[in-house]
Amino acid sequence: MGSRMRSSKAEAVTAVDGHTMIISLTGDIDHHSAKRLRGEIDSSLFTLRPKRAVMDMSEVEFMDSAGLGLILGRIACAEKIGCKLTLLSPSRQVMKILDLAGAGRLIEIKQK
Amino acid sequence: MTTTKKPMTETAEKRKSGRPPENLKNELRLELPSNSINEGIARSIVSVFVSQLDPTFEELADIKCAVSEAVTNCIVHAYRDTHGTIYITLKILDEKTVRIEIRDRGCGIEDIKTAMQPLYTTDSEGERSGMGFTVMESFMDRLFVVSSLGRGTKITMVKTLGDGRIRGIK
Ligand SMILES: Nc1ncnc2c1ncn2[C@@H]1O[C@H](COP(=O)(O)OP(=O)(O)OP(=O)(O)O)[C@@H](O)[C@H]1O
Ligand SMILES: [Mg+2]
């Protein structure tokens, strides 16, 4: 009763661990969801102004070039406030898109 | 010995005759309004349709991504300040090959060659990466773009499953 079908609604949940802000992304990141995610991430980023931030990509189910735009945009925002941004555990599929744009040169990518 | 003569199933019949089974000549036409919620809906529908070819997880993910790019371009660029219809046609060409057409009646592309360059975008406010066409090109086997200013754009993409891996090409 009442249990919903698993939806792929994208979410950005932020948490703080010492001087590091952790942004956990889930679901489908496309043009439809990217604008909202951008607002959510930036409001935490500019309020907390952390020294370091980690974008945890391990629960992302789908991402297209809009997600790439979201990541590149957040790299620029983090730079503005002197924050070092790291990408954590992108899937093979997400990695393929990052590689197409040579994003590995712009951001540190770590696996869990 | 008595045998009851069982009617041959359609597939068995076609296999015997050497022709591809009738159910592989499948086609789907879809019209969607240019609302961004339809990016995910188009991906899901294409994914269900392509599943009949028994794709690998990676092949399906590639196709979904390419479709997402083309549909998003209709919404973001073709119908930029307006609303319109996105026309999608999916066709199974043979046991391993799918053709996907995504068409709009939007603004059209002035210079296709330039538009297809990696990192090229005409949208500076939207945080576009300008990688949509590059994704479509690298995730599908073939990409054709036809466009007419003021009349619209048609993207045709073809992918043969299993092919890229066996021949080691992309
Ligand atoms: N259906 C279309 N109608 C009109 N113009 C288009 C269409 N598709 C693409 N374009 C033009 O081609 C350019 C490149 O498209 P591409 O998808 O590669 O990048 P983008 O959409 O700008 O950015 P991204 O896809 O990375 O978010 C667009 O900026 C736009 O000017
Ligand atoms: Mg695009």
**For chain A, how long is the longest CA-to-CA vector?**
49
Q: Extract the tokens encoding B134.
A: 């590059």
**CB–CB contact A93 B58 (8 Å):** yes
pLDDT (mean) for B113-131: 94
Name the percent of chain A in helix, strand, coil, to the closest 5: 40, 35, 25
With the C-alpha atoms ordered B139, B51, A58, A23, is the resulting torsion angle positive or negative? positive
Q: Nearest-CA residue of chain A relative to B137?
A: A100
What residue ranges define each of the domains in chain A, with the CATH number in brackets?
2-110 (3.30.750.24)
What is the domain partition of chain B in residue ranges? Answer: 24-160
In 3-state terms, what secondary structure has residue B148? strand
Shortest-distance ligand to the CA of residue B77: 1
Please give the angle made by the CA atoms of A18, A9 and B79, to the nearest 5 degrees.
120
- CATH architecture type of domain B24-160: 2-Layer Sandwich (3.30)
What is the pairing mode between strands A52-63 and A20-29?
parallel
Task: Identify the CA nearest to A83 among candidates A40, A38, A48, A34.
Answer: A48
What is the token pair recorded at A78? 């983090």
3-state helix, strand, coil in chain B (%, to 5): 40, 25, 35
Nearest alpha carbon, ligand 1 atom 27:
B128
Distance B19 CA to ligand 1 centre (A): 41
pLDDT tens per residue across span B90-108: 999 999 999 999 999 999 9
Those residues whose beta carbon sits under 5 angstroms from the ion ligand 2 are B 73, 132
d(CA B168, CA A80): 43
How confident is the model at residue B1, as a pLDDT?
45
Q: How far apart are the first and last CA of chain B?
A: 56
Compute CA distances B138 → A74, B65, B105, B118, B157, whole Å.
Answer: 25, 11, 25, 11, 11
- Cα–chain-centroid distance for residue B154? 11
The residues of B assigned a catalytic role are 69, 73, 128
**Which string of DSSP letters, residue by residue, matches A64-105?**
-HHHHHHHHHHHHHHHHTT-EEEEE---HHHHHHHHHTTGGG
Residue with CA nearest ligand 1 atom 25: B132
Ligand 2 mean position, distance from CA B108 (Å): 14
Question: How much is the pLDDT for B13?
Answer: 46
> Residue B129: which of A28, A38, A65 has the nearest Cβ?
A65
Mean pLDDT of A50-61: 97
Here the tokens at position B141 are 């086997």
Alpha helices by DSSP H, listed for B10-84, are: 10-17, 37-50, 57-73
Over 80: is that where the pLDDT of B140 sits? yes
pLDDT of res. B70: 98
Residue pLDDT, tens place only, B36-66: 999 999 999 999 999 999 999 999 999 999 9
Size of interface A-B (CB pairs under 8 A): 72
A105 or B9: which carries more pLDDT confidence? A105
Distance A46 CA to ligand 1 centre (A): 30
Query: Which run of H or of E encompasses A111?
Result: none
